[in-house]
């Protein structure tokens, strides 16, 4: 329950903070790669 | 004698190549790691092994590790290989959201490119980085720069292999989409389909569906082909086990169902997309889906909120990447 509200708060903050909900087709770079993926990798 | 064979870097290099073909990340990392270590007294083998390690890590979307590996590989590789490695490193930075850094490197590489194919590849990447930068920061939209590089690549269109024609036309289509010329965007994407291998069709069909979806939203015209493109995309992506393309297809399908007021079906489809994206470690997409779900819930108050609450708790918590997504 707590986590659920954390999620909603986070999403709400991001919406209010102006993070864009992206839309539209994706461009692709050279190579065998799919569209952009941002990984949150361990340092 | 057998000991010498067992620790031959060449053997591990070949094994790593096989693991890369099988898309076995752990196997690849393990084999190529030994090949790199075992080639310390053989500079030529070291160059090949570090090069393969860098390419492999990129193919597995291990961008941070790829950037480190490329730094190492650049100590041993020169000429065309070094050029390719620097291009890969810029692309890895782009995937991590550092598009301005990527653009700077691509511009240096474009000046150094000594054949037409290399020019086209760099121009495709420049258009990709600019379009992605603009996607995330629409206020920085720079049509002139994007058009300049797309035009530069396009002058060699008849000389380049089909897989590059597909990428070039796809990015040209996205450019027209951002300019608001949906008809041109659709016609260019359809041209790209003519040059594509079957395995690349889902990405193009997903983009076609996305353009048609926006077209419908802005012009209010019912477009039946959106579902057809999504169904075909899902079928072909499933055949090639392209889970990311399947997830994108689900995401667009969910948005289409929302437009058709099928809210509960749409929520199910969006959760399906969310699950697929997180399984593929596509965190930025996961976030997009969650934002869309939040948008739906905000518009539909009490009953929907309870359903969403239950589902989000069950599905998000059981997802192994849940903690990672919300750790930032």
Q: Give a yes or no: residue B88 inside a domain.
A: no
Examine the domain organization and report whether B205 and B169 are in the same domain.
Answer: no
Helix spans in chain B (H): 2-6, 9-21, 25-38, 43-59, 63-73, 79-95, 99-112, 116-136, 143-154, 162-179, 182-195, 201-219, 225-239, 243-259, 263-279, 283-318, 322-325
What ipTM describes this predicted complex?
0.80
Question: Based on the number of CB atoms within 10 Å of its own CB, is B85 exposed (0-12), middle (13-18) or buried (19 or more)?
Answer: buried
Residue-wise pLDDT for B39-98, tens only, equals: 988 999 999 999 999 999 998 888 889 999 999 999 999 999 999 999 999 999 988 878
Chain A contact set for B283 (CB, 8 A)? 37-40
On whether both B204 and B192 belong to a single domain, the answer is no
Residues in chain A: 43
Report pLDDT for B77: 96
- B224 and B108 co-located in one domain: no
**C-beta atoms of B136 and A3 within 8 A:** no
pLDDT in the model for residue B155: 97
pLDDT value of position B176: 95
Which pLDDT value is given to residue B312?
63
Residue B111: pLDDT band with limits 50, 70, 90: very high
The answer, yes or no, to whether residue A4 has pLDDT greater than 60, is no
φ, ψ for residue A41 (rounded to 5)? -95, 155
Q: Using the beta-carbon criterion (under 8 Å), do B95 and A22 form an inter-chain contact? A: no
The pLDDT assigned to B293 comes to 80
What is the structure's pLDDT at A16? Answer: 41
Please identify, among B196, B215, B232, the residue that sits at the C-terminal boundary of a domain. Answer: B196
Can you give the CATH number for the domain in which B177 is found?
1.25.40
Domain count, chain B: 3
B59 located within any domain: yes
Residues B152-190: pLDDT tens digits?
A: 999 999 999 999 999 999 999 999 999 989 999 999 999
Q: Tell me the count of A-B CB pairs closer than 8 A.
A: 141
Confidence tier at A12 by pLDDT (50, 70, 90):
very low
Same domain, B318 and B209: yes
Regarding whether B123 and B171 lie in a shared domain, the answer is yes
Which one is predicted more confidently, A5 or B81? Answer: B81
Per-residue model confidence (pLDDT) at position B53: 96
Structural domain ending residue among the three candidates B173, B196, B219? B196
Of B26, B108, B87, nearest to B62 by C-alpha is B26
Question: Does the pLDDT value for residue A43 go beyond 50?
Answer: no
Considering only CA atoms, which of B186, B204, B217, B194 is closest in space to residue B248? B204
Please state, rounded to an integer, the average pLDDT across all residues of chain B. Answer: 87
Of A28, A34, A41, the CB nearest to B171: A28
Residue-level pLDDT at A36:
54
State whether the Cα torsion A6-A10-A15-A20 is positive or negative.
negative
Choice among B25-34, B281-290, B302-311 with the minimum mean pLDDT: B302-311
What's the CA gap between B320 and B278, in Å, rounded?
A: 8
pLDDT of B291 reads 77
Contact B293, A7 (CB under 8 A): no
Q: Hunting for tokens 């490193």 — which residue is that? A: B89
Check: CB of residue B83 under 8 Å from CB of residue B109: yes
**Domain assignment of residue B189, yes or no:** yes
Pick the residue from chain B with its C-alpha nearest to A32: B59
Instruction: Give me B185's structure tokens.
Output: 């965007």
Q: What is the pLDDT of residue B267?
A: 86
List of chain A residues whose C-beta atoms are within 8 Å of the C-beta of residue B270: none
The verdict on residue B250 lying in a domain is yes
Mean pLDDT of B243-252: 90
Residue that is last in its domain, among B178, B196, B214: B196
Q: Which one is predicted more confidently, B232 or B217?
A: B232
The verdict on B56 and B106 lying in the same domain is no
Best residue of B54, B57, B60, B61 to probe chain A, by most A CBs closer than 10 Å: B61
Both tokens of residue B174? Answer: 């996205």
Tell me the per-residue pLDDT of B112-130, one tens digit each, with 9 for 90 and over: 998 999 999 999 999 999 9
From A9's Cα to the closest Cα of chain B, the distance in A is 10
Select the more confidently predicted residue: A43 or B177.
Answer: B177
Q: Which domain holds residue B247?
A: 200-328
Whether the predicted pLDDT of A6 surpasses 50? no
């Amino acid at each position: 329950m707590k986590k659920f509200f954390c999620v909603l708060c986070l999403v709400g903050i991001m919406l209010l903070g102006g993070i864009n909900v992206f839309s539209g087709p994706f461009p692709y770079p050279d190579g065998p790669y799919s569209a952009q993926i941002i990984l949150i990798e361990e340092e | 004698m057998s000991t010498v064979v067992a620790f031959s870097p060449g053997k591990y290099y070949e094994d790593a190549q096989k693991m890369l073909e099988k898309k076995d990340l752990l196997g690849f990392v393990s084999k190529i790691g030994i090949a790199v270590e075992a080639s310390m007294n053989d500079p030529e083998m070291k160059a090949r092994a570090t090069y393969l390690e860098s390419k492999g890590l990129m193919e597995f979307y291990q961008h941070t590790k790829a950037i480190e590996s490329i730094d190492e590989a650049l100590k041993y590789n020169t000429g065309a290989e070094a050029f390719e490695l620097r291009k890969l490193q810029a692309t890895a930075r782009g995937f991590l959201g550092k598009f301005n850094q990527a653009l700077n490197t691509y511009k240096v590489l474009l000046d150094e490119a000594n054949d037409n194919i290399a020019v086209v590849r760099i121009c495709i990447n420049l258009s990709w980085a600019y379009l992605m930068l603009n996607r995330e920061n629409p206020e920085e939209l720079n049509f002139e720069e994007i058009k300049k590089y797309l035009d530069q690549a396009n002058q060699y269109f008849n000389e380049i292999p089909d897989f590059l024609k597909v990428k070039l036309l796809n990015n040209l289509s996205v450019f027209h989409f951002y300019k608001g010329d949906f008809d041109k965007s659709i016609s260019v994407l359809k041209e790209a389909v003519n040059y594509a291998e079957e395995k690349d069709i889902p990405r193009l069909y997903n983009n076609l569906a996305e353009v048609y979806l926006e077209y419908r939203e802005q012009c209010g015209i019912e477009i039946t082909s959106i579902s057809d493109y999504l169904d075909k995309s899902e079928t072909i992506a499933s055949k090639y086990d392209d889970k990311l393309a399947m997830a994108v297809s689900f995401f667009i399908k969910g948005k289409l169902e929302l437009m058709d007021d099928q809210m509960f079906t749409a929520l199910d489809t969006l959760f399906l997309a969310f699950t697929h994206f997180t399984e593929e470690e596509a965190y930025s997409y996961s976030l997009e889906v969650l934002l869309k779900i939040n948008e739906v819930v905000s518009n539909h108050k009490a009953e929907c909120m309870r359903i969403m609450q239950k589902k989000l708790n069950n599905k998000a918590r059981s997802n192994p990447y849940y903690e990672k997504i919300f750790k930032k």
